[in-house]
Structure 1
Amino acid sequence: MAAVTAVSFLVLLVACTGWVYLKLNGNITTFGADGVSGDRPAAGAGGSNVLVIGSDSRSGGNRRLGGGEGDVGRSDTAFLLHVYGDSRHAVAVSLPRDALVDTPPCKLPDGNWTAPQTDVMFNTAFSVGETARGNPACTQNTVEKLTGLRVDHTVVVDFQGFSKMTSAVGGVSVCLPQDVHQGDLNPNRGPQGEVIFRKGQQTVSGQKALDYVRLRHGIGDGSDMGRIKRQQAFVAGLIKKVKSEGVNPTTLLPLANAATESMTVDPGLDTADKLMSFAMSLKDIDLHNTKFVTLPWRYQGARVAVVHPQADALWAALRADRTVDGEDASGKSGHGRKAGHRRKAEDNRKAEDSKGEATGSPGPGASVSGAGIGVAVYNGTTVTGLAARAAAGLKTAGFTVTGTATAATQDHATTVVTYGPGQAEQAGTLARFFPGAELQQATAPGISITLGQAYADHPAPPVASPFPSPSSPSSSDDVPSDIADKARSADDDPCSDLSYG
């Protein structure tokens, strides 16, 4: 359940007051670092990253709150919190539980390690080993493999901690786009039942807060993806409420105590001193500079596929400490330009003045090589010779064309790049040559492209530099506009943009 992860924000914020850390020390539980992979991204690439996991384990005191059975720890939602190097900006990237990802080897309770898995749901990593406390190290390994970012800290919070925390803060302001009935919490119960949430803005805490953030049915498309935006709005409201109450013992000690009693952290945050040290990087972040986005996604049957190259561009932006708004937030002297067309034009001018000095990833007019990438080209339209035309351009760019043919159907509106396990990066390179191309992962190896009418209508074939397009960022350190435009700030209207679908 995603919004329980908001507790981590609060604990890190309140820990910086100093007086509270002695109280918190006795509450904090840690997980072993021996399950963290030895094959990790390099540290210090920019800012710091905290993985926050919401566990919906029904063990212990969580059973009466979760409404389920079984003692295996499960990850209902997670997000990766990136705190920028200037300590004045942060972004939380929601990681859908049903997203199909590759899981690296993970350590089991008996000391053995699992084999890597391909194309499995993200939330299965937390359940590896089937223990009540879950496997946060496996989830951390999975996130590092997915993002290429080093996770500096991992925090797990459960139902009970979330419920107590929302009560301790005096409730959180939320909003509903319509009335919600008992049957919307559990559609298997039959009749709609009584209204439990009225349309509009209201304050919730405890069990009521849990019901709000777990609610799927009756709003949007009824999916886990549909509720992610409401969960982001809830976390934003929670942060706003704590900041509005001020930093004082009367309001924050009960909150911090409730949170840490149900928190599990990595050894790097196993004392209040360590929590306080990290919290100092959060205390100057204002509401507007606290952003929420979702990992680029699309439905793949009943599951969720990660969309490339948008996701890759997002991780590259975080590595470069580039904010959602396009600002260099590394905190380094002389930085802070805004992204977009103006920044890109400035970069291009600097490139011309630097007499060939490299300034970043290629843009239009720069050479991008397809060397070592094999691709089969299919014509998904009724336009004669389209596959041959694309193949000629791809060969010019260095790609190896393994064959051309007519697709099974000729009604494709958009161009689709299909790729096998471990070939996402190569597929992303290919997609940059086709404006608006979609990427789809397959179980079989190999890369193919099915050309759509959008490509047929383009006046020029692919050449050795990619076309600019909405699905291809203008610079490797830009957050793609289709992600940035959907970002939520912690100071946004709680009633705005509450659901996918």
Structure 2
Amino acid sequence: MKTSSHPAAPPRRRRTAPAPREGGRRDVPEGRRNVRAGRRNVPEGRRDVRAGRRRKRSRLRIALAIALSILVLGAAGLGWVFLELNGNIDTFSADGISGDRPAAAKGANVLVIGSDARTGGNSALGGGDKDDIGRSDTAFLLHVYADRRHAVAVSIPRDTLLTIPPCKLPDGSWTKTRTNTMFNAAYSVGQTAKGSPACTQNTVEELTGLRVDHTVVVDFKGFAELTDVVGGVKVCLPQDIHQKDLNPNRTTRGKLLFRKGEQTVAGQKALDYVRIRHGIGDGSDIGRIKRQQAFVASLIARVKSDGLTPTKLLPLANAATKSMTVDPGLGSADKLISFAMSLRDIDLHNTKFVTIPWRYEGARVAIVQPDADELWAALKADRTIDGKDASGKKGAAPASASPSAEEPVSGDGIDVAVYNGTTTKGLAARAATTLTDHGFTVTGTANASTQDHADTVIEYGPGQKSRAESVAGLFPGARLKSGTGTGISVILGRSYPAEGPSAEATGVPKAVADDARSADDDLCSNLSYG
């Protein structure tokens, strides 16, 4: 048998799987293990840093996720709140506002009306007929200066005798002008809660010559709820008050309602406080106005101390809007809160309260002229109670009785006739002096056919418009009107500043300035009249 010349091949070794390591992972050759171990052999400090970074990233992702969730839920909640507020707000009809209105001026004017209506559950708080639409039991015109750092509230006594202009009725017709009528009657002339505020607004514009930018009506119920939300308002009483002081028709003194001195009131107690008239001072509405001014000042101080922020305003707005009627310009939650937030920079000392210049006329109240017109003129010019210019313009001139142009005005070759459209004596002569000082030729002065003009009007004939515009340079806010005559006439309204030492010194009559109340005044001072 032949044999191969090649040596026999060694028997093939069968490959066997390496024995598993503890934990099920196979063994790695020693060299490879050393390499891998070397790769993982990161210094202890660096491993801690990397681990810390991973933990921080993880925490950041969680925080962002939480923040995003809160933001989404918060936005949804805020949207729901605004939707609820919008559902609360009632607006009155704007078609009852007069078409013959004063021109817009500096700052903003807000008419606040406290209605004594017994509708909507108010009879339980104030008594009386539950179907009565009520009258304006309280009213003040809040002038917010253009610098948004000053404000003054001018109270108008409800018994003030004045002229109520035509008001729109539910059937679409308009009433005739009413003269020598009590102010609070204007609210009931419109005959409906939706129409009455417009009539009161027309009356205030007719009285002051100032354009009312917004009107707000708050009834008993809304007022009481508002004081509950803020946790009560600090007030002061000059003496003990019993039930008979609130209701003089009682035959007995009744139980004690308030003790003399400082105390905190809310809800029905707050309402009782602002309604007290009899038994304090001369028992008049004038004395009650002083206490109401002190109350509003204290309420403002309480709100500002809590912080004027959206989160604080929302519960206040919720309470107020449930029993509030506003003009269409404030008819949504965002507009209402935005306006409230615009007042946050007005400090307490620069928030003033005054009463329209007045005197008794029998059992009623008459307006004192020319003091009242001086007050309206100062507000229209954005002059504060102490005579400062609060229009927000830099380098503003000090208060002056006579208007002056912001730019040089030349009246060379321009003839002008001047008519006094107010009851303020000597107004036409003063305006004529201003015109002649600037080179105009005044052809004559006289009283206008009527003395009830709110604004100054400059009438001009054909081809005289450019010259009339030159005249208007001396009468800021005057309205240009095309007329049938051939020349130019200035008909002065109540918006034209009145003259007098007090107007020059403070911007308002001294008697008004001396009686002004600041929101930071002592709570127990000046609480009654008589």
- The TM-score normalised by the length of structure 1 is 0.70
Provide closer, same or farther for how the CA distance between residues 468 and 82 of structure 1 changes in structure 2, counting only shifts above 3 A. Answer: closer
2:203 maps to which residue?
A: 142
Which residue does 1:208 correspond to in 2? 269
Q: Which of 273, 279, 303 does residue 242 from structure 1 map onto?
A: 303
Give the corresponding residue for 1:68.
128
Change in 2 beyond 3 A, CA 1:114/1:181? same
Aligned to 1:291: 352
Q: Cα gap change, 1:33/1:132 in structure 2, threshold over 3 Å: closer, same or farther?
A: closer
CA-CA distance at 1:311 after TM superposition: 0.3
Q: Cα offset for 1:276?
A: 3.2
Whole-Å Cα distance in 2 between the matches of residues 262 and 145 of structure 1?
A: 27
Displacement of 1:480: 1.2
> In structure 2, do the counterparts of structure 1 residues 273 and 295 end up closer, same or farther at CA, with 3 Å as the change threshold?
same
Give the structure, 1 or 2, with the largest relative contact order (CA under 8 Å, sep 6 or more): 1
Structure number with larger C-alpha Rg: 2
Map 1:179-194; keep pairs closer than 5 Å. 179-194=240-255
Letter in 2 for 1:474: E
Say whether the 8 Å CA contact 1:321–1:330 is kept in structure 2. Answer: yes
Could you say which residue in structure 1 is the equivalent of 2:119?
59
- C-alpha distance after superposition, 1:107-153 (max 9, x if no partner): 00111100111110111111013335560000010000000000011
Separation in 2, partners of 1:467, 1:315: 12
Residue 151 (structure 2) aligned to one of 66, 74, 90: 90
| Aligned residue among 311, 329, 344 for 1:268 | 329
Indicate the residue corresponding to 1:486 in structure 2: 515
For residue 249 of structure 2, give the secondary structure of its aligned residue in structure 1: helix
Structure 2 gap segments, 5+ residues each:
1-77, 412-425, 431-443, 455-497
Cα distance in 2, alignment partners of residues 368 and 125 from structure 1: 29
Q: CA RMSD of the aligned region, Å?
A: 3.0
Separation in 2, partners of 1:169, 1:120: 37
Partner of 2:383: 322
Aligned counterparts of 1:467 and 1:328: Cα–Cα separation in 2: 17
**Structure 1 portions without partners, runs of 5+:** 1-17, 358-366, 372-396, 401-419, 426-465
Counterpart among 276, 279, 284 of residue 218 in structure 1: 279
Give 1:184's aligned amino acid.
Answer: D
Cα separation, 1, equivalents of 2:331 and 2:453:
36
For residues 156-195 of structure 1, the aligned pairs below 5 Å read: 156-195=217-256
**Residues of 2 paired with 1:121 and 1:287: CA distance?**
32
- The structure-2 alpha-carbon separation of the partners of 1:72 and 1:46, relative to structure 1 and needing over 3 Å to count, comes to same
The amino acid of 2:522's aligned partner reads D
> Cα offset for 1:21?
4.0
For 1:61, what is the secondary structure of its paired residue?
coil
Deviation at 1:498, TM superposition (A): 0.5
| Residues 318 and 369 of structure 1: CA distance in aligned 2, closer, same or farther (over 3 Å) | closer
Partner SS state of residue 264, structure 1: strand
- The separation in 1 between residues aligned to 2:277 and 2:450, in whole angstroms, is 31
Q: How many residues align?
A: 378
Whether the aligned pair in 2 keeps the contact of 1:46 and 1:320 (CA below 8 Å) is yes
The secondary structure found in structure 1 opposite 2:290 is helix
The residue number in structure 2 matching 1:35 is 96
Counterparts of 1:467 and 1:72, CA distance in 2: 41
Contact 2:169–2:195 (8 Å) recurs in 1:
no
Report the CA distance between 1:369 and its aligned residue: 5.0
- Superposed counterparts of 1:45-444, under 5 Å: 45-69=105-129, 70-132=131-193, 135-247=196-308, 251-335=312-396, 337=398, 422=451
Distance 1:28 1:468, change over 3 A: closer
Percent identity, aligned pairs only? 69
Contact preservation (8 Å) 1:327, 1:336: no
**Offset, 1:399:** 8.2
SS in 1 for 2:88: coil
